[in-house]
Amino acid sequence: MILTAEVGNFNLVNTYFYIDDETRHGFLIDPGDEGDKLLKICAENNFTIEKILITHGHYDHIGAVNQIQYALNIPAIMNVNGKIYAENPQWNCSIYVGDEIKLGKITFLDDGTQINLEKNPNFGVKMIHTPGHTLDGVIYYSKNDKVAFVGDTIFKNSYGRYDLPGGDSKTLFNSIRTKILTLPADTILLSGHTPATTVDAEKIFF
């Protein structure tokens, strides 16, 4: 099951609970803000979150990571290129919007790493590096469920900004064309800021 929670103050972000129906264990993707609300959803639904998965290190995707890690004592995963975003409020842009964010306990993984649940090793996602919006941008892809959590790399009818630290337009469009639009056409794309779309629907734009 996939449950979406919109969190944030002026910049709303989609936080996703990607949960195995059988065991109710799962992943929390991009807890950007409102940690109390996200923890309440876990408790009310009896979810056991095994890992936090971060699509990229912008403030609006990581704002509640420290709080939830502390509350649940679980790892938080970023791509290996994410260190500077985790540690530097200028790079994660939190310095421009409010409290500075620094993440201290991140597990950095390489492109292509398969991340499975401990409780059910058949349930998992693959980290696929899709830089361009940021240096550390990734999507988390489940072949079984035909779904990809794409962060801010691609949106419904649009794509991510490339003018922020580490961004680059050529790299972004290359990531979209070679890493996302090459997934099966009926793959559902769940982004950080828009309603769901599919690979097939976005192909016409690129």
Binding residues for Zn ion, rule: CB under 5 A, are 58, 152
Residue 138 has φ and ψ, to the nearest 5°, of -135, 160
Question: Least CB distance from residue 55 to Zn ion, whole Å?
Answer: 8
Minimum CB–partner distance for residue 188 and Zn ion (Å): 20
Cα Rg of the chain, angstroms: 16
Minimum distance of Zn ion from residue 133's CB (angstroms): 6
Contact 39, 68 (CB under 8 A): yes
Q: What's the rounded Cα separation, in Å, for the pair 4 and 15?
A: 6
Considering beta carbons, is residue 125 or 172 the nearer one to Zn ion?
172
Min dist CB 199 to Zn ion, Å, is 21
123 versus 140: smaller Cβ distance to Zn ion: 140
Q: How many helices (H) and strands (E) does the chain have?
A: 6, 14
Q: Is the CB of 72 or the CB of 97 nearer to Zn ion?
A: 97
Name which of 58 and 129 has its Cβ closer to Zn ion: 58
How many other β-carbons are positioned within 10 Å of the β-carbon of residue 186?
A: 9
Residue 91 Cβ vs Zn ion, minimum distance, rounded to whole Å? 11
For Zn ion, the closer of residues 75 and 165 by Cβ is: 165
Residue 35 near residue 27 (C-beta atoms within 8 A):
no
Strands 188-191 and 197-198: antiparallel
